[in-house]
Amino acid sequence: MRLTLPTLGAVYLLLATAAHGFAQSGDIEIKDVWARATPGGAQTAAVYATIVSAADDRLTGAATPAAKEAQLHTMATDNGVMTMRQVDDINLPAGQPVTLKPGGYHIVPTGLTQPLVEGQTFPLTLTFAKTGNRQVTVSVQKIGAMGPGAGTDMPGMNMPGHR
């Protein structure tokens, strides 16, 4: 097979375009992944993180050996009533940080296999529509924490024995 310069140029352009698209779809940053400790007997928890995707993508699911199931949820206030509902996915606009946080989007592990204990960690696999699966480590913070190193500044949160 004899390749001419125009043919090589076309092949290069095709490969460069394909590689560029692949690199964009796989370029994702996941940071500040954390959960609050849970009291004994709790069957659910909440996991938070900040996600930045280089290309438009969607978080479509999560799984962890620390629970039977993990769901994507959102919280909203409607007429003064806070509601939580499960969602199918969370949009990740290209280059824009999306923060899963208390009072907003979050991941809910249900059917915990054991309580989440402050100072421990557990694995979590996040599933993205374009990027595929990414495994992260969840850092367990204090009950009532508002983020890694943020303490327990939850207004109205009064839990005996926890400060």
Mean pLDDT on 153-162: 39
Mean pLDDT on 134-138: 98
Q: Which two tokens stand for residue 63?
A: 């799984």
Q: If phi over 0 gives left and psi between -120 and 50 gives alpha, with beta otherwise, what is residue 13?
A: alpha
Q: What is the pLDDT of residue 124?
A: 98
80-121 pLDDT per residue, tens: 898 999 999 999 999 999 999 999 999 999 999 999 999 999
Q: What share of the chain is helix, strand, coil (3-state, %, to 5)?
A: 15, 45, 40
Has residue 154 got a pLDDT over 80? no
The percentage of the chain sitting over the pLDDT mark of 70, rounded to a whole number, equals 75
Is 23 strand, coil or helix?
helix
Do the beta carbons of residue 100 and residue 106 sit within 8 Å? yes
Please name which of 58, 45, 36 lies closest in space to residue 118, comparing C-alpha atoms.
Answer: 36
Q: What is the pLDDT of residue 101?
A: 95
Phi, psi of 68 (to 5 degrees): -70, -30
pLDDT confidence band for 135 (50 / 70 / 90): very high
43-72 pLDDT per residue, tens: 999 999 999 999 999 999 999 999 999 999
According to DSSP, the residues that pair with 121 across neighbouring strands are: 139
Q: How many residues does the chain have?
A: 163
At 11, the amino acid letter reads V
Pairing outcome for strands 132-141 and 28-36: parallel
- Specify the higher pLDDT residue, 24 or 81: 81
Domain spans, the chain: 28-141
Domain 28-141 bears CATH identifier 3.10.20.30: no
Has residue 73 got a pLDDT over 90? yes
Mean pLDDT on 22-32: 71
